[in-house]
Amino acid sequence: MSKPIAAVTADTLLADMKPINQKMADYAPRPLLNALGRAGILPIVIAYDDYADPEEFVDTFDALVLPGGPNPSPRFYGEEPLWCIGPTYEKRDIFEIALIQTCLKRGKPILGICRGMQILNAALGGTLWQDMSAQNPKAFIQHMQKAPGNIATHYVDIEKESRLHSILGDGLYVNSRHREGIKKLAPSLTAAARSRDGVIEAVEGRDNDLVAAVQWHPENMDPALMDPLFHAFADRIIRYK
């Protein structure tokens, strides 16, 4: 039996670097590719293409992974950018939103990580806090941690009725590298975990298990703790394949 294939959308290195071919280099995080590989998934990295429709990519993979990256542009959930918003990259937003919508139509599983959870929520009709420290007075936890990115810094409580609970249990400490967060949850999603200041930390599809996403970066945490998340994703891909 061939391995399931998961497309990982690429981020783009915009720094003024040399040689010139690295100035706009597309890439995906190596720890994420390794985590997928340990779960028996064959990852392929796909970047947006100015000369093809996103829908043309979908026949080349079995599932979609939306990794971390820059803030989704507020225009995709009907808002103007606030002065405090971090970097955005609209070409990636457009590409990922089209891939999300096509994968859902075609019944292909999706896993979102950090920004991936946010663009998923925006694509399905939800909204985001552009900067929780400026907009959400209830968010008292340090969600943009100052500790190294692989260190777990705050606790999340996992909903007992969620599918995530069967994978990770009642709760755990996670790393946290985000200034934005879900404000209005998309109608087709349900919250699967929250931090203790009420911020949504994981989501799932309301009607089926096609979609799942987490706000933290599991690929940077202890594999013994987080590999079950990627193995569960592999199981979903095989079932839908």
Based on the residue annotation, tell me whether 96 is a catalytic residue of this protein.
no
Known catalytic residue at 219: yes
Angle formed by the axes of helices 90-106 and 115-123, nearest 10°? 70
Find, among 105, 91, 137, 97, the residue nearest to 121 by Cα: 97
Closest CA to 44 of 31, 28, 26, 56: 28
Do 100 and 45 meet the contact criterion of CB atoms below 8 Å apart? Answer: no
Instruction: Choose, from 96, 180, 201, 219, the residue flagged as catalytic.
Output: 219
The neighbour count for residue 7, using CB atoms within 10 Å, is: 22
Rounded-to-integer distance, Cα 65 and Cα 38, Å:
15
Residue 181 and residue 142 in contact, taking contact as beta carbons nearer than 8 Å: no
Judge if the upstream peptide bond of residue 19 is cis by omega within 30 degrees of 0: yes
Surface-to-core class of residue 12, CB atoms within 10 Å of its CB (0-12 exposed, 13-18 middle, 19+ buried): middle
Active-site residue, selected from the candidate residues 143, 154, 178, 217: 217
Q: Nearest CA to 131 among 195, 87, 69?
A: 87
What is the rounded CA–CA span in Å between residue 9 and residue 92?
8
- Please tell me which residue in 96, 103, 114, 178 is annotated as part of the active site: 114
Active site residue 114: yes
Q: Just list the catalytic residues.
A: 114, 217, 219
